[in-house]
Structure 1
């Protein structure tokens, strides 16, 4: 990996980030980086729903950082797969609550297992003395994107 890139050069950041996206497989729209045949956005939605049990659709939109229309299509896709069910929000007739079906819970569990295996392999491939720096760099990137 080249180490002679200028740290203050935006092109160097773009090149490094593009290399990461490709190496991690994020440019493959219908497969997760852990090799599952599901889109990354669907995998993230399943993960959020599995973690919380149920979420309002508007909250899922916020957590995924996607547009409302994109999440609506995403939920329609997950529903068509039999993984998510919609229900009216009990306190607001206009709101929608999302829950995983039993099939959706199994899919989320399979994804979580594949993710654990992939990230364990990835972590083992990073030298132990560099792991904290990698995690810190990712946190700094997220903070910069949030500004």
Structure 2
């Protein structure tokens, strides 16, 4: 049965998302879809931290949609790699501010370049007339997930 005939079947959506996860390698804990030897969580954290000169740890947790304790462990791993430094928040003694180290900035830049190259090739492989639909479908999936939560 083709996917078009199963549009109202939750199992079809589950199967399609599972295929997407496997195709992108998101089920592999120690590498990114662009082939870098770090976890997807670390890659996303690097990207978020590279956007600003400093970010509160609680804000990073919100952006990554992860629990505070998970982000704390993640930041610990990144700190052990020499990528992140932590400092007390100047306006709140309990808050933590994160900054990329020079090594972390280099890692973030290298990762961003690899990601850009990988997604450029992927976009080129999608027929031009299908691209808007693919992007729209991904947006709709995220919105539906957010509403369901």
- Provide TM-score, normalisation by structure 1: 0.97
2:112 match: 112
Mapped to 1, the partners of 2:123 and 2:96 lie a distance apart of 38
State whether structure 2 residue 19 is matched by structure 1 residue 19: yes
Mapped to 2, the partners of 1:5 and 1:79 lie a distance apart of 49
Name structure 2 gaps, 5 residues minimum. none
Mapped to 2, the partners of 1:93 and 1:52 lie a distance apart of 21
Q: By how many angstroms is 1:131 displaced?
A: 0.1
Name structure 1 gaps, 5 residues minimum. none
1:123 match: 123
Aligned residues: CA RMSD: 0.8
Q: By how many angstroms is 1:52 displaced?
A: 1.4
Q: Assess, with a 3 A threshold, how the Cα gap between structure 1 residues 4 and 140 changes in structure 2: closer, same or farther.
A: closer
Correspondence list, 1:72-83, <5 A: 72-83=72-83
Q: Assess, with a 3 A threshold, how the Cα gap between structure 1 residues 35 and 5 changes in structure 2: closer, same or farther.
A: farther
Q: Assess, with a 3 A threshold, how the Cα gap between structure 1 residues 125 and 116 changes in structure 2: closer, same or farther.
A: same
Q: CA offsets, 1:51-105, max 9 Å, x none?
A: 1121000000000000111000000000000000000001111100000000000
Query: Is the CA contact (8 Å cut-off) linking 1:5 and 1:12 kept in structure 2?
Result: no
Equivalences, count: 146
Correspondence list, 1:50-61, <5 A: 50-61=50-61
Mapped to 2, the partners of 1:32 and 1:5 lie a distance apart of 33
